[in-house]
Amino acid sequence: MTDRRSFALVLSLAALARPITAAADATIVDVEIKGNLFVPETVTVRAGTTVRWTNKERRTTHSVLFPAERLESERMLPDEQWSRRFDAPGRHPYTCGPHPEMKGLVVVTA
Ligand SMILES: [Cu+2]
């Protein structure tokens, strides 16, 4: 094998390894949206965790809205997802833009 080829191989292996490493470091907690509910309604996670919402409805679209932070996801069609990483301890109550009766809470601990 020439030097140039082995260099290319090393680059390819590095590219393959990177996402695996990232996945191992990241913690993801899932919340499902179904029946006009966030399930579970409350999640308690450690700082640095990513919470991922998945719309499991057959027809209804939802969003994830943090009113105090003026942050809202895109509207999620069925089977679409949205994620947010929480880096600092705190309480993050949220709702759904089009369905304000839907309530959820993310509690982030140190
Ligand atoms: Cu909704």
Distances, alpha carbon 73 to alpha carbons 16, 51, 53, 84, in Å:
30, 12, 10, 9
Q: Which residues contact 29 (CB under 8 A, 6 or more apart)?
A: 43, 45, 49, 50, 51, 52
Instruction: Measure 23 CA to ligand 1 centroid, in angstroms.
Output: 29
Instruction: Measure 96 CA to ligand 1 centroid, in angstroms.
Output: 5
Walk along the chain (110 residues) and give the pLDDT tens digit of each residue.
455 555 454 445 445 554 444 444 579 999 999 999 999 999 999 999 999 999 999 999 999 999 999 999 999 999 999 999 999 999 999 999 999 999 999 999 99
Distances, alpha carbon 90 to alpha carbons 42, 93, 107, in Å:
13, 10, 6
Distance CA 85, CA 94 (A): 14
The helix/strand/coil state of 110 is coil
CB distance 27 to 50 below 8 Å:
yes
**pTM for the whole structure:** 0.77
Query: What is the per-residue pLDDT for 81?
Result: 98
E strands of the chain, at which residues?
28-34, 37-39, 42-46, 49-55, 65-66, 71-72, 81-86, 90-95, 103-109
Query: What is the per-residue pLDDT for 106?
Result: 98
CATH of 27-109, one of 1.10.10.10, 1.10.3720.10, 1.10.1740.10, 2.60.40.420: 2.60.40.420
Instruction: Measure 70 CA to ligand 1 centroid, in angstroms.
Output: 17
Instruction: Measure 39 CA to ligand 1 centroid, in angstroms.
Output: 12
Instruction: Measure 59 CA to ligand 1 centroid, in angstroms.
Output: 11
